[in-house]
Amino acid sequence: MTRSGSSRSSGGHGEYRELPLYIMRINERYDFDIYLRIKADYRLFAAGGALFTEQHNLLLKSGNTKLYVRKDDWDKVEECKTRYSSSILTDPAVSTHDKADIAFVASMKSIRDVFKSTEPRTIKNVEENAQEMVKLLLAEEQVVSNLIWIESHDHYTYQHSVRVGIYSTALMLKLMGSRLTKEEMALMSMGFFLHDIGMAQIPMEILDKKTPLTIEEWKLIKMHPQLGYDRLLDAGYLKPEAAAIALLHHERHDGTGYPLQRVGEGISIYAKICALVDTFESLTAARPYRRRKDPFTALKIMQNEMIREFGPELFKEFIMLLGPKG
């Protein structure tokens, strides 16, 4: 065991990040050094690999203590958030803001795995994440508004998939929660999170391109709904209705979408939800070729220029979802 204050680090404040205490577990080992901040110094509280003991815990409870880790170790902290996400998300002592952060991090890992591997099991792993998300959104209404401000340094495609997955799940629960079983909710939530899985088959140089796409590149991008749908069906974990979210999330209520140019009732409510949220998230996210728009500006653009594409009633429900609660 490493004693508190046994070592000093002279690194500047910018080299450290505050460690969320809700990930700490007695009798667990963490593979990163943990520090106390004493005035301008950071002193070693627990060395990486050492057991986090009851004594450490008592020291934390003895005062309004904050712990820190080096920025270089933050990826390891994120791994801990994912490892303990199930217990953290049901802990009444953890704030809604922190639960939103945990949900985002856990979702990001599962989506990152899907995009980086063609193994069908990575799709199956999204199911547990979807189940946890449904439980959290049913219990914590404020989670959605907290998610708007969460920042991530992951690739845009991963962030986009996670945000669309969470917002779409929340909107589905608002509109249809009383008519669906929790199993059905989780199944459709998987479809939302995996709506852009076809993008995994598009070359990264096209996804990251900062100049306008060529006609051929745009044709390739427009193939991703079909590519995603085929992969989800081949994996065998989603029912066709959930997998169809990937196929239809670029269809539009007025028939101007792709790849099938479906109209109105020819598009499922789940695909309509995903299409609306997908557009909002695309406008509010930074892209290689343009800056992000704030949520209010994005909603105004959608209301003024795109309302026929989504239908006014669904758009109204989405605005109410994003608005303040209570």
Same domain, yes or no: 290 and 162: yes
Residue 1 lies in a domain: no
Q: What is the pLDDT along the chain (326 residues), one digit of tens a residue?
A: 333 444 545 455 569 999 998 999 999 999 999 998 888 899 999 999 989 988 888 877 776 678 999 999 999 999 999 999 989 988 898 998 899 888 888 999 999 999 999 898 999 989 988 999 999 998 887 788 777 667 666 678 888 999 999 999 999 999 998 899 999 999 999 999 999 999 999 998 998 888 889 999 999 999 999 999 999 999 999 999 999 999 999 999 899 999 999 998 999 999 999 999 999 999 998 776 778 899 899 999 999 999 889 989 999 999 999 876 54
Same domain, yes or no: 18 and 160: no
Residue 78 lies in a domain: no
Residue 150 lies in a domain: yes
What secondary structure does DSSP assign to 73-114, as a single string? GHHHHHHHHHHTHHHHHT-TTS-HHHHHHHHHHHHHHHHHHH
Query: What secondary structure letter does DSSP report for 36?
Result: E
Query: Which residues are CB-neighbours of 18 under 8 A, at least 6 positions away?
Result: 66, 67, 68
Q: Given CA atoms 225, 231, 233, 235 in this order, what sign does their dihedral have?
A: negative
Rounded to the nearest 5°, which phi and psi values hold at 230? -65, -40
Same domain, yes or no: 116 and 252: yes
Same domain, yes or no: 95 and 65: no
Same domain, yes or no: 180 and 64: no
Among 48, 73, 98, the domain-final residue is 73
Q: Supply the pLDDT for residue 156.
A: 81
Same domain, yes or no: 165 and 58: no
Residue 3 lies in a domain: no
Residue 91 lies in a domain: yes
Instruction: Find out whether 315 and 303 touch, Cβ atoms under 8 Å.
Output: yes
Same domain, yes or no: 314 and 267: yes
Helices 96-116 and 120-139: angle between axes, nearest 10 degrees: 170
Q: Supply the pLDDT for residue 4.
A: 41
Same domain, yes or no: 64 and 160: no
Same domain, yes or no: 151 and 274: yes
Among 38, 73, 108, the domain-final residue is 73
CA angle 288, 291, 295 (to 5 degrees): 125
Q: Supply the pLDDT for residue 249.
A: 97
Residue 2 lies in a domain: no
* Domain with 46 in it: 8-73
Query: Which residues are CB-neighbours of 291 under 8 A, at least 6 positions away?
Result: none
Same domain, yes or no: 246 and 184: yes
Among 49, 73, 97, the domain-final residue is 73
CA atoms within 13 A on the CB side of 217: 12
- Please choose, from the candidates 77, 75, 102, 78, the residue with its C-alpha nearest in 3D space to the C-alpha of residue 88: 102
Residue 42 lies in a domain: yes
Q: Supply the pLDDT for residue 326.
A: 47
Q: Identify the CATH number of the domain in which residue 241 sits.
A: 1.10.3210.10
Q: Token pair of 195, please?
A: 């709506």
Residue 220 lies in a domain: yes
Same domain, yes or no: 66 and 131: no
Same domain, yes or no: 37 and 138: no
Q: Supply the pLDDT for residue 325.
A: 55
Neighbours of 61 (CB within 10 A): 8
Q: Supply the pLDDT for residue 1.
A: 36
Q: Supply the pLDDT for residue 39.
A: 83
How many structural domains is the chain composed of? Answer: 2
Query: Which residues are CB-neighbours of 112 under 8 A, at least 6 positions away?
Result: 154, 158
Q: Supply the pLDDT for residue 2.
A: 37
- Please choose, from the candidates 197, 80, 149, 137, the residue with its C-alpha nearest in 3D space to the C-alpha of residue 321: 137
CA atoms within 13 A on the CB side of 284: 24
Neighbours of 326 (CB within 10 A): 4
Cis peptide before 212 (omega within 30 of 0): no
Instruction: Find out whether 284 and 297 touch, Cβ atoms under 8 Å.
Output: no
Q: Supply the pLDDT for residue 151.
A: 67
* b (16+ CB within 10 A) / e for 89-122: beeeebeeebbbbbbbbbbbbbbbbbbeeeeeeb
